[in-house]
Amino acid sequence: MIKSAPSFPLRGALTALIFLLLSQSGVRAETDESSAVEPGMTRAEVVARWGDPPSHARSGDTELLHYNRGREVFLQNGRVQYVRSETSRTGRPMSATNLEERLHQLTIRAEGSADFGAWEERDLSTGETIALLAFFVFIMLLMLVTMWRIFTKAGYAGWTSLVPIYNAVVLMWIAGKPGWWVLLMMLPVVNIIIMLLADIGLAHQFDKGTGFGVGLFFLPLIFMPILAFGSAEHVNPREA
């Protein structure tokens, strides 16, 4: 399956998740005890610790202070009621409209619950982030092994499944399609059709039906391992 060629999603997913882990760690490093903002503090105390907010919104006796990296402070009657001090988001300044909507949301929640901890939007902990990273690494490694197995079944060296671009060309050959179809993958809409036809062709080359090819297209994490580790063999494997 062309869209599951392993080099590209593996690199992208690992880069994104490592950045998530590092950025979250960086935010936590910014917030030590000396700069912590806690419920009960006044607006002046918040500004003394975090500085003037890049953006804020006020409505009646409530106010929302929005800082970089998604940090925010909700005040009622001049006192802090809720603080988001740790976040994995890069966070950009909110527009005036978004700030007002967020303030309205927090005000409604404050009126309905005296315990902000009961509904506070919780960020991923470091442990959860590592677990998420491990899960994605497992999925990518599974696809690497799966593609390696499919390539060897078709008579190609397993390492060719790891070479960017070339692996997509070889996979087209395995699916019984011309290698230049890879160029069509750069065309919007057309690439979807090409991927579907390639998946159906791949299924046929392993003596599977069209329905199996559709499964490869929509559920690759299920159907690709079945193709790789099942009893199906390529109908015309390449001579060694």
Domains and CATH numbers, the chain: 2-13+126-229 (no CATH), 31-118 (3.30.1450)
Could you give the CA distance from residue 202 to residue 1 in angstroms, rounded to a whole number?
7
Confidence of residue 119 (pLDDT cuts 50, 70, 90): very low
- All residues at 6 or more sequence positions from 146 whose CB lies less than 8 Å from its CB, including other chains: 224, 225, 227, 228, 229
Lowest mean pLDDT among 59-73, 101-115, 140-154: 101-115
Query: Between the CA atoms of 58, 60, 61 and 63, what dihedral angle is there, to the nearest 10 degrees?
Result: -10
Q: What's residue 116's pLDDT?
A: 54
When comparing pLDDT for 216 and 9, which is higher?
A: 216
Check whether 17 has a pLDDT greater than 50: yes
When comparing pLDDT for 144 and 132, which is higher?
A: 144
Q: What's residue 11's pLDDT?
A: 47
Could you give the CA distance from residue 150 to residue 133 in angstroms, rounded to a whole number?
26
When comparing pLDDT for 100 and 111, which is higher?
A: 100
Confidence of residue 191 (pLDDT cuts 50, 70, 90): very high
Highest mean pLDDT among 46-50, 105-109, 230-234 belongs to: 230-234
Q: What's residue 142's pLDDT?
A: 95
- How much is the mean pLDDT over the chain? 81
Over residues 69-88, the mean pLDDT reads 81
Over residues 203-218, the mean pLDDT reads 97
Check whether 122 has a pLDDT greater than 90: no
When comparing pLDDT for 94 and 80, which is higher?
A: 80
Q: What's residue 107's pLDDT?
A: 81
Check whether 77 has a pLDDT greater than 60: yes
Check whether 2 has a pLDDT greater than 50: no
Given the structure tokens 């918040």, which residue do they identify?
Answer: 46
When comparing pLDDT for 45 and 91, which is higher?
A: 45
Could you give the CA distance from residue 198 to residue 213 in angstroms, rounded to a whole number?
8
Lowest mean pLDDT among 1-15, 30-44, 114-128, 186-200: 1-15
205: left (phi over 0), alpha (psi -120 to 50) or beta: alpha
